[in-house]
Amino acid sequence: MAAESKATRSDGVYIALRAAILAGRRPPGARLKFSELSATFDASVTVIREALTRLTAEGLATAEPQRGYAVTELSTERLGELTDARLELEGLVFARAVAEGDLQWESQLVAAHHRLENTAFLSSEEPIRITDEWVDAHARFHDALLEGCGNRRLYQMAIGLRREAELYRRWSQPLGSEKDRDLAGEHRRLLELALARDVNGARMALCEHISHTTRLLLDVTGSLTRSDP
């Protein structure tokens, strides 16, 4: 019972910290101190450490000897390497999903796209921020694109890379800021190519979708890192 309670507590701290990081309440580079976090969440150091370990595995936090934990800093070099890895791995996993996915995969993909297409993009209270609901729907759609891949190890690796890129997407918020970019159309095209079982076309479309977004992220990330003291 005690072990279950601790696990539940750790989950709660992890969820709250993750939301705070992605919402910008704990900015890139901010220290994540055990004493402050323990007081904030009324949790033991063990519980805090477990939550921070999960955030580190997800790429949202970093751990350095003698310095402890911090929110991952934005880096154009890191984003470039991350994108290169995503293009190789996500492209492969999506191609295999299109070739291998069954009817249940198709149904889940259609449902995930329907939810994404009908979820508000920007917050009415804070128009410069993407809504948490859209971010969740967007992540679920992209997860669903890859879900049909039969190799679960490849799938989990690809999902891990997507999670790591989330901090950049949330902090730069350029996804829909290009006047002529049809982001909804790009997602619809991915769905159509997947359902048409166009393996090569689907892979190329996903890689272009990722590359396009990254070009915007690199511009914003570069300006943010240059403005740091």
pLDDT in tens, 51-110: 999 999 888 899 988 889 999 887 888 888 999 999 999 999 999 999 999 999 999 999
Interior/surface letters 90-129, b for 16+ CB within 10 angstroms, e for the rest: bbbbbbbbbeebeeebbebbeebbebbeeeebeeeeeeee
| pLDDT beyond 70 at 16 | yes
pLDDT confidence of residue 175 = 44
Which residue range(s) make up the domain with 156? Answer: 76-226
Note the pLDDT of residue 5: 58
* Sign for the pseudo-dihedral over CA of 167, 138, 186, 210: positive
For 47, the token pair is: 């519980």
Domain count, the chain: 2
Q: Is the pTM of this model over 0.85?
A: no
Same domain? 97 vs 62? no
Residues 52 and 97 in one domain: no
pLDDT over threshold 50, residue 2: no
Q: What is the predicted pLDDT for the residue at 135? A: 84
Last residue of a domain, one of 25, 40, 71: 71
Same domain for 38 and 122? no
pLDDT digit string, tens, across residues 154-183:
999 999 899 888 878 776 654 445 667 888
For residue 105, give the CATH number of its domain.
1.20.120.530
Q: Are residues 66 and 109 in the same domain?
A: no
Q: Are residues 173 and 111 in the same domain?
A: yes
Give the pLDDT of residue 4: 45
List phi, psi (to 5°) of 102.
-100, -170
Domain boundary among 52, 71, 90: 71
CATH of residue 10: 1.10.10.10
The predicted structure's pLDDT at residue 115: 98
Task: Return the pLDDT at 3.
Answer: 47
More confident residue, 6 or 154: 154
Do 101 and 205 fall within a single domain?
yes
Amino acid at 114: H
154 Cβ neighbours under 8 A, 6+ residues apart: 89, 92, 93, 96
